Amino acid sequence: MGFSFTNIEQIQQLMQNVTIDILGIVVDVGPVGNLKLKTGESKDKRNLVIGDDTNYSIAVTLWGDTATKLDLKPGQLVACKQCKVSEYSGRSLNGSSSLSDYVIGNVNHPRAIEVKRWHSKFSNH
């Protein structure tokens, strides 16, 4: 899968609804919740926070199957394709609802090496 990553610091300058690829270390994973939509439907959602070597972090909201089926833990490297920039509670991202747009752990990209190196300075593993 090809990625064109935007670092987290750059997201502050992007317009709402721009679609980007993001790579970072999982900092926090919230519980799965359920949101009632204006249409009357309900949808599973889960918030996580990721950080990168720019020393910035951002909230990413996962929806539907990605909220319930992705096994994410703090300290893991995660790549997300097709995230949409949002201005909800400041800058945040809405993650793709397709499981195939996520890679956890083994991301084959030069940017992944940089982020892993940065993270290893602050972790014991």
Residue 125 has pLDDT above 60, yes or no: no
Residue 19 has pLDDT above 80, yes or no: yes
For 1-21, what is the mean pLDDT?
A: 90
The reported pLDDT for the residue numbered 18 is 93
Distance, in Å, from the CA atom of 93 to the CA atom of 103, rounded to the nearest integer, reads 17
Chain segment 65-112, per-residue pLDDT in tens: 999 999 999 999 999 999 999 987 678 999 998 999 999 998 889 999
- Please name the CATH architecture into which domain 8-120 falls: Beta Barrel (2.40)
